[in-house]
């Protein structure tokens, strides 16, 4: 560690054996004092606080924008069941395959267990196996069998996965998923809308971004790490308590009823940080003075400047935040007075004749094992189509979806739904999107800058996980690690803050490597370079 870094860190640690700060250079006497401020009450925030409590560090405060814990694991009541009670649907976490869907992905293997699946079993979360092979294909003329394209993509995807692994091993530069898939033999024509729909189902539906904008290596690696480590079975959560029951259940292991350490309905407005601590100022006028803070805000919140940082975050941090992508994944729910679609099929893939990703994947909840008799079906859109739907009225979206359903089932009379709803993730001020995606050409150093701490301000969440970005278990791992980092820094067994293995700050890069310096162009095709420009 550099001497300059040591000089910066030297005043940071002033703690008793119990972990309570006795001195802080950044302090406001009007603020509530605590050792750790946990900003955000989603999976990462609750797991971070739990790690602190497990280390006997109980002096913390959790600040949450919403009126409940759970973050982007968000459910709501919908429609009406035969007993007169509403059904419960998940706006957010869907498949734990991406961080904010309600499905438990990677149920586990003999060697490892997904922590989210472990929690699901612990709290008896009701869930049902989702069979991705239970799918019918449609276009604007109705049912049209292009399932052979699903097999073609699957074969190409396997070849692409092998190639991505070799690229990682050989340390070759990343490429777009479009390039990686093309090299594996998957090259759909722009006008082959069936192939475009199959690609959307396999790539966009998972990453919420197109292959043109997604990292080939890290996109494939994240999928493989999850499935190879935890298993390839996925279960859809259908619990009346909501998927967030596992998060609230874990919070109840260390929070008491009406615990003063939990502040709901509290919006963080400003974070002042420095070597001496962190001051968190909220929109209601309250403030918290903490020795450390763990920021678990979504990447979307960070990108939209929803919270002011004082001083401004350093350039290396701002660059990393701007570099990564925040996807929008919007599920549109409909309940009808009957199930007019095949009730023995889970998924219905639609290939629009002109627009890729136009209401492409419908999923039935009326199927046996899910919510039979509910007559509920939902369709998913992402990115551009999600932004468009989220910015128009419910009525306009409803008309468009019903028109698609009429094309898919031309021999049926498609009635108006008796219940209709969808979230607007891209405009929610506590989320600004659904989950993160790794852009093409983004290095591990850039990602390390995203998760690195700045003085006493730490960061956690699904976007901070290099292995499991976009997954709920990514948020679990990152929250736990941030809590453990601070516990090691504050606990009495941490002999010195200079002990980099247990107490050191996360590494960041002021200068990124792996990019081409301007000077290199001086020997290419007669180009010359100076310190500011490249000119012929």
> Binding site for FAD: residue ranges?
268
Cβ-proximal residues to 499 (8 Å cutoff; 6+ apart), any chain: none
The Cβ-side half-sphere exposure at 396, using a 13 Å CA radius, reads 6
φ/ψ region of 469 (left if φ > 0, alpha if ψ in -120 to 50, else beta) reads beta
85-to-79, 117, 311, 437 alpha-carbon distances in Å: 8, 28, 50, 37
Q: Which of 213, 163, 155, 212 is nearest to 186 (CA)?
A: 155
φ/ψ region of 441 (left if φ > 0, alpha if ψ in -120 to 50, else beta) reads left
CA distance 70 to 92: 10
Which sign, positive or negative, has the C-alpha torsion 190, 192, 193, 199?
A: negative
Tell me the angle at which helices 43-54 and 472-490 cross, rounded to the nearest 10 degrees: 30
Which residue numbers belong to the known binding site? 268
Q: What is the CA radius of gyration of the chain?
A: 24
Cβ-proximal residues to 256 (8 Å cutoff; 6+ apart), any chain: none
Q: Tell how far CA 137 is from the center of its chain.
A: 29
CA distance 86 to 80: 4
Rounded to a whole number, what is the distance in angstroms from the first to the last CA of the chain? 42
Q: Which of 61, 63, 46 is nearest to 267 (CA)?
A: 63
* 277-282 and 287-295 beta bridge pairing: antiparallel
Q: Which of 12, 427, 23, 352 is nearest to 194 (CA)?
A: 352
The total of other beta-carbon atoms located within 10 Å of residue 181's CB is: 24
Q: Are 479 and 48 in contact (CB under 8 A)?
A: yes
Q: Are 448 and 364 in contact (CB under 8 A)?
A: no
The helix/strand/coil state of 383 is helix
Helix (H) or strand (E) holding 275, with range, is: none
Beta bridge partners of 459: 295
CA distance 508 to 514: 15
The Cβ-side half-sphere exposure at 408, using a 13 Å CA radius, reads 25
């Amino acid at each position: 560690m550099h001497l300059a870094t040591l000089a910066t860190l030297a005043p940071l640690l002033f703690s008793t054996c119990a972990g309570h700060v006795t001195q802080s250079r950044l302090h406001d006497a009007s603020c509530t004092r605590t050792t750790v401020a946990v900003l955000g009450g989603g999976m990462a925030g609750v797991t971070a606080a739990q790690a602190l409590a497990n280390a006997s560090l109980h002096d913390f405060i959790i600040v949450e924008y919403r009126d409940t814990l759970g973050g982007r694991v968000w459910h709501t009541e919908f429609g009406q069941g035969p007993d007169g009670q509403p059904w419960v649907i998940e706006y957010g976490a869907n498949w734990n395959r991406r961080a904010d869907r309600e499905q438990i992905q990677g149920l586990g293997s003999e060697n490892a267990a997904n922590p989210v699946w472990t929690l699901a079993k612990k709290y008896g979360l009701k869930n049902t196996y989702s069979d991705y092979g239970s799918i019918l294909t449609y276009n604007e003329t109705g049912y049209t069998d292009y399932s052979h394209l699903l097999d073609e993509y699957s074969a190409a995807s396997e070849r692409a996965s092998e190639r991505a692994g070799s690229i990682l091993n050989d340390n070759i530069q990343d490429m777009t998923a479009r390039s990686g898939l093309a090299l594996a033999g998957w090259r759909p024509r722009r006008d082959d809308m069936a192939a475009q729909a199959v690609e959307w189902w396999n790539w966009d539906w998972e990453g919420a971004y197109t292959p043109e904008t997604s990292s080939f290596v890290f996109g494939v690696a994240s999928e493989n790490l999850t499935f190879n480590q935890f298993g390839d079975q996925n279960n859809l959560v259908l619990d009346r308590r909501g998927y967030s029951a596992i998060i609230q259940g874990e919070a109840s292991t260390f929070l008491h009823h009406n615990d003063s350490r939990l502040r709901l309905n509290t919006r963080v407005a400003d974070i002042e940080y420095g070597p001496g601590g962190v001051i968190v100022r909220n929109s209601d006028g309250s403030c918290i003075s903490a020795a450390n803070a763990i920021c678990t805000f979504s990447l979307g919140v960070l990108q939209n400047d929803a919270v002011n940082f004082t001083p401004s975050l350093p350039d290396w941090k701002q660059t990393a935040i701007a570099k990564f992508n925040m996807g929008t994944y919007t599920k549109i729910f409909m309940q009808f007075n009957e199930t007019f679609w095949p009730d023995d099929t889970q998924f219905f893939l639609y290939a629009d004749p002109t627009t890729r990703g136009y209401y492409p994947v419908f999923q039935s909840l009326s199927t046996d094992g899910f919510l039979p008799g509910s007559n509920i079906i939902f369709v998913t859109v992402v990115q551009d189509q999600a932004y468009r739907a989220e910015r128009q009225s419910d009525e306009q979206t409803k008309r468009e979806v019903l028109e698609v359903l009429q094309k898919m089932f031309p021999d049926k009379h498609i009635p108006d739904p008796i219940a209709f709803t969808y979230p607007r993730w891209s405009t929610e001020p506590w989320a600004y999107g659904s989950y993160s995606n790794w852009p093409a050409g983004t290095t591990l150093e850039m990602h390390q800058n995203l998760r690195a701490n700045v003085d006493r301000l730490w960061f956690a969440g699904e976007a901070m996980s290099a292995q499991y970005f976009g997954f709920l278990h990514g948020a679990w791992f990152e929250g736990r690690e941030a809590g453990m980092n601070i516990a090691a820094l504050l606990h009495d067994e941490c002999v010195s803050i200079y002990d980099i293995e247990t107490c050191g700050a996360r590494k960041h890069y002021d200068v990124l490597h792996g990019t081409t310096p301007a000077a290199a162009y001086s020997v290419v095709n007669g180009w010359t370079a100076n310190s500011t420009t490249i000119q012929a």
